[in-house]
Amino acid sequence: MGRPPCCDKMGVKKGPWTPEEDIMLVSFVQEHGPGNWRTVPTHTGLRRCSKSCRLRWTNYLRPGIKRGSFTDQEEKMIIQLQALLGNKWAAIASYLPERTDNDIKNYWNTHLKKKLKKLEASDLYSNDGHCLSSLNSTSRGQWERTLQADINTAKQALKNALSLDKSSPISEYSTVTDVKPINIGCYPHIKKEGKMSTSTYASSAENIAKLLKQWTRSDSTNNSEHSKASSSTQLSCNNNNNAMAEYSSSFESFEPSNSDQYSQAATPEATGKFHGESKREVDDDEVPLSVMLESWLFDENDDLLI
């Protein structure tokens, strides 16, 4: 009756992922690229359902994920986009390429919902406790105007993003609002090299990128150039993103997938590049990726810019 389970439930492990499992999964993606999740358990020996593997990759392991607290700008964008799009977390996430839809959804449910509720409550009630929900209320009017302005801004951003073929949503968004670029601005080298022309997918992550930074230490000369080049732009980023820029500088040759949907990393182009990158790294006779992964995954003190 109904759909068959996505995988054989017998012997399938559930719950939190272990570092070992992460290593196995990342190794698989390094080798085969993201996609073909069905084959992951058989190829890697992971006792995980394919869906679980895909989720682990997209929500946690894939490059370009920014972890830690949300910035005010990100928060503002989420509020605006949620007002405009509703609970379309994937669509909202496409405007915040460093954040997963799951992260945004969680953040909305745990932080922003309450925040807005509080805000609304404080705006709707005057000091003497009278509800100001009447249409003539000044504060409510202001609140509504503010909200409307935010929605209009978001609409404008969406309109622009949709009207420009294959352009970066983030970039477009940033051009039509007074919100500074929250991600791409920290990766000037990406724009410079034109590798992100069809992508909004931030090419760095605190997790794997950090790992790869050490792994690609041999490129440090070029990287330092990029670090210098990016330093001015970093000024427009918050502190968290400064570190991101640093990571990105060592990640220049990594080709991110099309960020419109991070799942599109499974496209042959993106996959091939990711794959190719990993091959190049291996050929450099550096520390094996798996070793680096291990050190990263097991290093409890190596906090990730939270």
Residue 111 in contact with DNA, rule: CB under 7 A: yes
Smallest separation (angstroms) from DNA to the CB of 168: 17
Which is closer to DNA, CB of 252 or CB of 255? Answer: 255
The residue within the footprint of DNA, chosen from 14, 129, 135, 232 (CB under 7 A), is 14
- For residue 192, count other CB atoms closer than 10 A to its CB: 13
Residue 66 in contact with DNA, rule: CB under 7 A: no
Residue 88 in contact with DNA, rule: CB under 7 A: yes
Smallest separation (angstroms) from DNA to the CB of 293: 15
Which is closer to DNA, CB of 110 or CB of 152? Answer: 110
Where would I find the H helices in the chain? 19-32, 40-44, 50-56, 72-85, 89-93, 101-107, 113-124, 138-163, 169-176, 188-193, 208-215, 220-234, 239-249, 268-283, 289-298
The residue within the footprint of DNA, chosen from 23, 24, 71, 105 (CB under 7 A), is 105
Residue 52 in contact with DNA, rule: CB under 7 A: yes
The residue within the footprint of DNA, chosen from 31, 32, 43, 51 (CB under 7 A), is 51
Which is closer to DNA, CB of 48 or CB of 195? Answer: 48
The residue within the footprint of DNA, chosen from 27, 31, 38, 286 (CB under 7 A), is 38
The residue within the footprint of DNA, chosen from 66, 80, 81, 89 (CB under 7 A), is 89
Which is closer to DNA, CB of 270 or CB of 281? Answer: 270
Which is closer to DNA, CB of 24 or CB of 188? Answer: 24
Q: Which among 2-10, 74-82, 118-126, 140-148 is the span making contact with DNA, rule CB under 7 A?
A: 2-10
The whole-angstrom separation of Cα 116 and Cα 83 is 11
Residue 50 in contact with DNA, rule: CB under 7 A: yes
- Give, to the nearest 10 degrees, the angle between helix 138-163 and helix 113-124: 140
The pairs formed by 242-245 with CB atoms below 8 angstroms and a separation of 24 or more are 242/186, 243/206, 243/305, 244/66, 244/98, 244/183, 244/186, 244/202, 244/204, 244/206, 244/305, 245/186, 245/187, 245/204
The whole-angstrom separation of Cα 44 and Cα 109 is 35
Smallest separation (angstroms) from DNA to the CB of 23: 13
Give the 3-state secondary structure of residue 131: strand
Rounded-to-10 torsion of CA 34, 35, 38, 44: -20
| Buried/exposed 252-282: b ≥16 CB within 10 Å, e otherwise | bbbbbbbbbbbbbbbbeebbebbbebbeebe
Residue 87 in contact with DNA, rule: CB under 7 A: yes
Residue 304 in contact with DNA, rule: CB under 7 A: no
Smallest separation (angstroms) from DNA to the CB of 145: 27
Going residue by residue from 190 to 229, which x/- string records binding to DNA, judged by CB under 7 A? ----------------------------------------
The whole-angstrom separation of Cα 133 and Cα 127 is 14
Residue 90 in contact with DNA, rule: CB under 7 A: yes
Sign of the C-alpha dihedral computed for residues 257, 93, 111 and 53 taken in this order: negative
Sites of contact with DNA (CB under 7 A)? 2-4, 6, 13-17, 35-38, 48-52, 54-56, 58-60, 67, 87-91, 101-103, 105-107, 109-111, 114, 261, 263-264, 266
